[in-house]
Chain A
Amino acid sequence: MRRRLLLLALPFVALAAWGLLVPEVASSAWGLCRKGAVAVALGLGLSALGARGLLPRFLARRLVSLVIVLIGASTLVFGALRLAPGDPVDAILGEQASAEARAELARALCLDRPLLAQYNDCFWDSVLDGSLGHTFDVTPRPVIELLAENFPSTAELAFAGMVVALCIAFPLGLISALRRGTWVDHGASVFALLGVAVPAFWLGPMLLLALTVAVDWLPSPARTDRPVLALILPAITLGTALAGKLTRMIRSSVLEVAQDEYVVAARAKGLSEKTILIKHVLRNALIPVVTVMGIQFGALLTGAIITEKVFARPGVGSLLLEAIQQRDYPVVQGTVLLIATTYVVVNLATDLVYVLIDPRVRLDA
């Protein structure tokens, strides 16, 4: 406990010293101390709630680590963009730009101020006021507006990819476990291996070539008048890798559970195979699968960046790539923050679902 308090106090001491030594960042250092104190108070409050039993203890612990991870991840994104070699002002304006233009851009980007001031006044203040900074346009807009416009399309794609993966993996994994060693099993293994190895940015164009150009089975994903049909190809492209992973996972999980003693006991008791499969095997075999699905949702979000490029779909990924090309740092920063936050929150939600479907976990926590 003392060690943890020491760990918590360290950044504050460092900030105070920084503020004292460099008077021009004193107000930023003080601002960061206040924000840090709020975060620490939040963490301590959550642990206290957990300790008093007002909040399930595992939930309190996960929420505290959520706070730490989100602060750390944001800091990493901030640091990566600021500490990288190369001057963003040069990158945007070119090296021949006039001194006034450069100064103005540096001010707009908040690059003319000390690092600590950038971190507190520009980065955290824009995160905490919910705008995530402003785009670098003639008419600046809050980054959060752009993200809100583009996120639904990406979430839709990721969700559709998940559905495709489940629709393929669940029956395939189950059948290959139940018919172990037959040609169905071998076929499923080959599919799983290929699914994991095939690059989405290759599968996409090939599916497009095969299904919309060679035979006219599906409308082109560029057509906006039939959104559901247009989603099919991108969803298959995105979901195939996950389908491969999940097929192997479900197969080995079902095989493992099927050997457990309670399944043998259920069989000895004379239950029908159907009841054993549904009530005893599947319920337990699907527990690890849920975790993998949660973790893989983040992979789907990043995979969506590639899939969106393949099919020229609008979304967070297209936004990110466009912002990278235009060197619009606030948008790049905001997009990466959004994806990382979604990922962390989905992982937390997965852990909670895990506890709901597997009561044994709660006792361990």
Chain B
Amino acid sequence: MSRLRRVLGALPVYAGGAVVFGLVFVALFAPWIAPYPADQLNLVNDLAPPGGAHWLGTDENGADVLSALCYGARVAALVGLGTVSLCMAIGVTLGALSGYLGGLVDEVLMRIIDVLMAFPGILLAILLIAITREPSISSVILALSLTGWAGYARLVRGQVLSLRERPFVVAARSMGAPTFWIIRTHLIPNVLAPVIVQATFGIASAILAEAGLSFLGLGPEGVASWGALLDQGARYFLVSGHLALFPGLAILVTVLGINLLGDALRDRLDPHGDRG
């Protein structure tokens, strides 16, 4: 009984891990996995229902939905990982500097972070993409990172403030160790656990945000992301519901899997963290 319970309890972790692995795998090997080339149209066989030669049906141009989803996984993985890496790089560095140096640097950075956090969710990204002429995947990543790093910086700063006075840091400082060395070898490794947990959830929310932007018609141009597929599909949802159904399911399953993994990581790495 207890063994069964243990297996059942670990199920979400395995499910989450499988989803993340699946996403990365499909993104890497999309051209080999997708049953049809990304740009193969077949106007005679448009809006075909799922089944037969096209497992998930075809869209209004007769393109295979499953293949489009495989290529869409690349956009999702790129935006998710790219945004989080950029946010982490900026946020961890500035947060550690701000917390460790204190004083004027801290004051200025905290005010900037206050301002960035005054923008809810993807609002600033909407603004930035709206004025970009031909948004690409990297402009979406940049737009999402512009406010995204602030959360990491605030998290790291709080942790560093409490670490700063701990004996091993004081000892290093009194030995005359350079500031950047202390930050790199003593502070950052010690604050990484909650950062990794937050980054996991960050990947999920970046994927959702990109899908939202694409749905609003503000996504990267020339690439079929899941959000853009959904936006197109929603126009035909009365005649062919599958066009909107499958991209939505892809987003749902991906975000769900990453969140499950994040929960598991939090239990393991950051047991006292916020469970909101």
Chain A residues engaging chain B, CB cutoff 8 angstroms: 3-4, 6-7, 65, 68-70, 72-73, 76-77, 80-81, 84-86, 88, 91, 193-194, 196-203, 205-206, 208-209, 213, 245, 248-249, 252, 288, 292, 298-299, 301-303, 305-306, 309-310, 320-321, 324-325, 332, 336, 339-340, 343-344
- Verify B244–A205 contact, CB threshold 8 A: yes
Q: Which of B58-111 contact A (CB under 8 A)?
A: 103-104, 107-108, 111
Residues of A near B234 (CB, < 8 A) are 201, 205, 310
Quote the shortest CB–CB distance from B220 to chain A (angstroms). Answer: 16
Residues of B near A252 (CB, < 8 A) are 275-276
CB nearest neighbor in A for B255: A197
Residues of B near A194 (CB, < 8 A) are 252, 256
- Verify A72–B118 contact, CB threshold 8 A: yes
Partner of B120, one of A69, A196, A209, A302: A302
Partner of A69, one of B103, B107, B118: B118
- Verify A340–B123 contact, CB threshold 8 A: yes
Contact A85/B111 with A69-B118, A332-B127 known, Cβ cut-off 8 Å: no
Residues of B near A88 (CB, < 8 A) are 131
Quote the shortest CB–CB distance from A344 to chain B (angstroms). Answer: 5
CB nearest neighbor in A for B238: A213
Residues of B near A68 (CB, < 8 A) are 111, 114-115
- Verify A72–B120 contact, CB threshold 8 A: no
- In the assembled complex, the Cα of A53 lies from the Cα of B275 at a distance in Å of 37
- In the assembled complex, the Cα of A38 lies from the Cα of B11 at a distance in Å of 60
- In the assembled complex, the Cα of A321 lies from the Cα of B123 at a distance in Å of 12
- In the assembled complex, the Cα of A336 lies from the Cα of B118 at a distance in Å of 11
Partner of A202, one of B114, B131, B230: B230
- In the assembled complex, the Cα of A65 lies from the Cα of B126 at a distance in Å of 25
Scan B191-212; emit 1 where CB is below 8 A from any A CB, else 0: 0000000000000100010011
- In the assembled complex, the Cα of A339 lies from the Cα of B127 at a distance in Å of 12
CB nearest neighbor in A for B129: A324
Quote the shortest CB–CB distance from B221 to chain A (angstroms). Answer: 14
Residues of A near B112 (CB, < 8 A) are 72
CB of B271 within 8 Å of the partner chain: no
CB of B179 within 8 Å of the partner chain: no
Residue in B123, B256, B260 whose Cβ sees the most chain A Cβ within 10 Å: B123
CB of B3 within 8 Å of the partner chain: no
How many B residues face the partner with a CB closer than 8 A? 50
Residues of B near A69 (CB, < 8 A) are 114-115, 118
Contact A3/B252 with A209-B237, A245-B276 known, Cβ cut-off 8 Å: no
Residues of A near B121 (CB, < 8 A) are 298-299, 302-303
Contact A76/B252 with A86-B133, A209-B237 known, Cβ cut-off 8 Å: no
Quote the shortest CB–CB distance from A345 to chain B (angstroms). Answer: 10
CB nearest neighbor in B for A251: B275
- Verify A80–B131 contact, CB threshold 8 A: yes
- Verify A73–B216 contact, CB threshold 8 A: no
Residues of A near B107 (CB, < 8 A) are 3-4, 7
- Supplied contacts A85-B133, A298-B121, A306-B215, 7 more A-B pairs, CB within 8 Å: A7-B108, A65-B114, A68-B115, A72-B115, A199-B255, A206-B244, A325-B217
Quote the shortest CB–CB distance from A142 to chain B (angstroms). Answer: 20
- In the assembled complex, the Cα of A298 lies from the Cα of B116 at a distance in Å of 13
- In the assembled complex, the Cα of A303 lies from the Cα of B230 at a distance in Å of 17
CB nearest neighbor in A for B211: A199
- In the assembled complex, the Cα of A321 lies from the Cα of B127 at a distance in Å of 10
- Verify A320–B126 contact, CB threshold 8 A: yes
CB nearest neighbor in B for A4: B107
- Verify B230–A324 contact, CB threshold 8 A: no
Partner of A7, one of B104, B227, B276: B104
Residues of B near A336 (CB, < 8 A) are 123-124, 126-127
CB nearest neighbor in A for B120: A298
Contact A199/B118 with A3-B107, A81-B127, A324-B218 known, Cβ cut-off 8 Å: no
- In the assembled complex, the Cα of A65 lies from the Cα of B111 at a distance in Å of 9
- In the assembled complex, the Cα of A320 lies from the Cα of B213 at a distance in Å of 13
Residues of B near A208 (CB, < 8 A) are 237
- Verify A309–B252 contact, CB threshold 8 A: no
Scan B114-148; emit 1 where CB is below 8 A from any A CB, else 0: 11101111111011101111000000000000000
Quote the shortest CB–CB distance from B10 to chain A (angstroms). Answer: 15
Residues of A near B218 (CB, < 8 A) are 324
- Verify A343–B119 contact, CB threshold 8 A: yes
Closest 10 CB pairs of A and B: A202-B248, A298-B120, A72-B115, A197-B255, A197-B256, A84-B131, A324-B130, A201-B215, A302-B121, A252-B275
Partner of B124, one of A80, A202, A324: A80
Partner of A199, one of B123, B126, B130, B251: B251
- Verify A73–B208 contact, CB threshold 8 A: no
Quote the shortest CB–CB distance from B103 to chain A (angstroms). Answer: 7
Residues of A near B255 (CB, < 8 A) are 196-197, 199
Residue in B119, B124, B132 whose Cβ sees the most chain A Cβ within 10 Å: B119
Scan B43-64; emit 1 where CB is below 8 A from any A CB, else 0: 0000000000000000000000
Scan B231-267; emit 1 where CB is below 8 A from any A CB, else 0: 1001001100100110110011001100110000000
- Verify A197–B252 contact, CB threshold 8 A: yes
- In the assembled complex, the Cα of A72 lies from the Cα of B204 at a distance in Å of 29
